Amino acid sequence: MDKPLVIAVAGGSSSGKTTVVEKITKNLPNYEIVVIKHDDYYKDQKNLSMEERRKVNYDHPFALDSDLFFHHLEGLLAGKEIRKPTYDFVHLTRAEATEVVKPAKIIILEGILVLEDPRIRGLADIKIFVEADDDLRFIRRLKRDIEERGRTLDNVISQYLTTVKPMFHEFVKPTKRYADIIIPNDTSHDVAVDIIKSKILTILNK
């Protein structure tokens, strides 16, 4: 198999990365695509109490096992299947279940910090940063964390103000300079997705 095409999609929490990834995938129905979420590589915290887990800064690069993420990406690029971890966002630790991921023609990496690690972005053929207004991102995150992750209103607000917002400005937003394409997700981004699709097809057909 020829070297897979690697696409990295970064951006702030709840900026709309998943929506962009889904649109790219939908626009390429004839290609095998795997999506690897950086979020699944949060470090195992079974040795910590729940109180200690809640105090962890999940928006700092150190919270993620990027060494394993990079190792798995290298494996996929070498044509090997990997056993990817999954993360339990309710209990704030690695889940027992893992997921077997097989190599594919297109590999999409998604996460707030996928462009922060030079090893990972060095393997990406196309680098995308998804932008959205800070207020809109906060509202989306608030809704998601309460409905899907069992958080309280006070907990979400406190986490946003103490870690999410400052870490976005310190670590996430600066990676925008590495992006080949910046997508403003608070407006329609069909044109951007069409451009990305054309670039993907150009690379694959070389």
Residue 119: closest CA among 80, 71, 77: 71
Give the tokens for residue 81: 């299947």
Phi, psi of 6 (to 5 degrees): -110, 125
Burial class of residue 102 in the structure, from the number of CB atoms within 10 Å of its CB (0-12 exposed, 13-18 middle, 19+ buried): exposed
State pLDDT tens for residues 8-53: 999 998 888 998 999 999 999 999 999 999 999 999 999 999 999 9
Q: Which domain holds residue 114?
A: 5-204
CATH number of the domain that 159 lies in? 3.40.50.300
Record the pTM. Answer: 0.91
Domain count along the chain: 1
Strands 33-37 and 106-110: parallel
State pLDDT tens for residues 119-166: 999 999 999 999 988 888 889 889 988 998 888 999 889 888 999 999
